[in-house]
């Protein structure tokens, strides 16, 4: 399963990339606005930090023409950009056209299996299914992941199911169990993936025993 960082903060990307496990970055208009810098400069800096991964950058137009114009512009900025387009009738039509042109699309704001099907049929590279926002309203976000993964497998679509709106490490575990292709998460959740109290206790015990015995690696 690929791990993406969900952020508009360049510094977070820089720190996470050092761990060597980041396969890509997703942004959205809210995350870019929170980061407080220009859109293009932010996206380009992130692209340079993950040259072998993809960076999803989102359009804000809502008509087919606006989406196409913005998507072609954003895609021209760097070879590893995937254009994020919302799941609307205009977004699906634009996605169909853009994939014919060779521009990769991350279809975002997908909440239901039927929306996932339409994204796959339009040729989206990634289908971003939001789980946390569904859990927030007392429903089961992961049900749509299960359906979308099965749909892609049943029909041999090339789209990858991207678990978005992740709130905690168990969302990542569930994504793994369901065979999702990608999980994108905030920096804080990625940090939490490392943590286990028994690792900390175990490491401390190994080090204490080693030092007490006066052992050395380099004699
Ligand atoms: C996905 O790519 C979105 O940017 C993101 O996961 C949304 O998460 P949120 O529901 O925490 O805003």
Local confidence band at 28 (pLDDT 50, 70, 90 cut-offs): very high
Q: Is residue 201 part of a domain?
A: yes
Domain region containing 185 = 2-213
pLDDT tens, residue by residue, 53-65: 999 999 999 999 9
188 tagged catalytic: no
Q: Are 43 and 27 in contact (CB under 8 A)?
A: yes
Q: Is the C-beta atom of 130 inside 6 A of ligand 1?
A: yes
Spatial CB neighbours of 78, under 8 Å, sequence gap ≥ 6: 43, 44, 47, 48, 55
Q: Is residue 218 part of a domain?
A: no
- What is the pLDDT at residue 126? 98
- What is the pLDDT at residue 70? 98
Q: Whose CA is nearest to atom 6 of ligand 1?
A: 165
Q: Is residue 165 part of a domain?
A: yes
Q: Is residue 219 part of a domain?
A: no
pTM, rounded to two decimals: 0.96
Q: For residue 82, what is the domain's CATH number?
A: 3.20.20.70
Number of separate domains in the chain? 1
Q: Is residue 21 part of a domain?
A: yes
Q: Is residue 60 part of a domain?
A: yes
Q: Whose CA is nearest to atom 12 of ligand 1?
A: 165
34 exposed, middle or buried (CB, 10 Å; 0-12, 13-18, 19+)? exposed
Q: Are 160 and 1 in contact (CB under 8 A)?
A: no
Average pLDDT over residues 72-89: 98
- Find the catalytic residue in 9, 84, 121, 216: 84
pLDDT tens, residue by residue, 98-153: 999 999 999 999 999 999 999 999 999 999 999 999 999 999 999 999 999 999 99
- Residue 34 carries which DSSP code? H
Q: Is residue 151 part of a domain?
A: yes
- What is the pLDDT at residue 104? 98
């Amino acid at each position: 399963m690929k791990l993406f960082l969900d952020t508009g903060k360049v510094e977070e990307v820089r720190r996470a990339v050092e761990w060597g496990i980041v396969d890509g970055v997703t942004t959205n208009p809210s995350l870019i606005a929170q980061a407080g810098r220009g859109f293009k400069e932010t996206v380009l800096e992130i692209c340079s930090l993950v040259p072998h991964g993809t960076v999803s950058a989102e359009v804000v137009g809502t008509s087919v023409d606006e989406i196409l114009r913005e998507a072609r512009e954003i895609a021209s900025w760097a070879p590893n950009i995937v254009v994020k387009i919302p799941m609307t009738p205009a977004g699906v039509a634009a996605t169909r056209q853009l994939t014919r042109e060779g521009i990769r699309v991350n279809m975002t704001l997908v909440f239901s299996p039927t929306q996932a099907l339409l994204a796959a049929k339009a040729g989206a590279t990634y289908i971003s299914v939001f789980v946390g926002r569904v859990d927030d309203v007392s429903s089961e976000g992961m049900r749509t992941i299960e359906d979308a993964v099965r749909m892609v497998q049943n029909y041999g679509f090339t789209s990858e199911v991207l678990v978005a709106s992740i709130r905690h490490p168990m969302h990542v575990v569930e994504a793994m169990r369901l065979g999702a292709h990608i999980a994108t998460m905030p920096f804080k959740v990625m940090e939490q993936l490392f943590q286990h109290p028994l690792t900390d206790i175990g490491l401390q015990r190994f080090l204490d025993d080693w030092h007490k015995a006066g052992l050395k690696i380099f004699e």
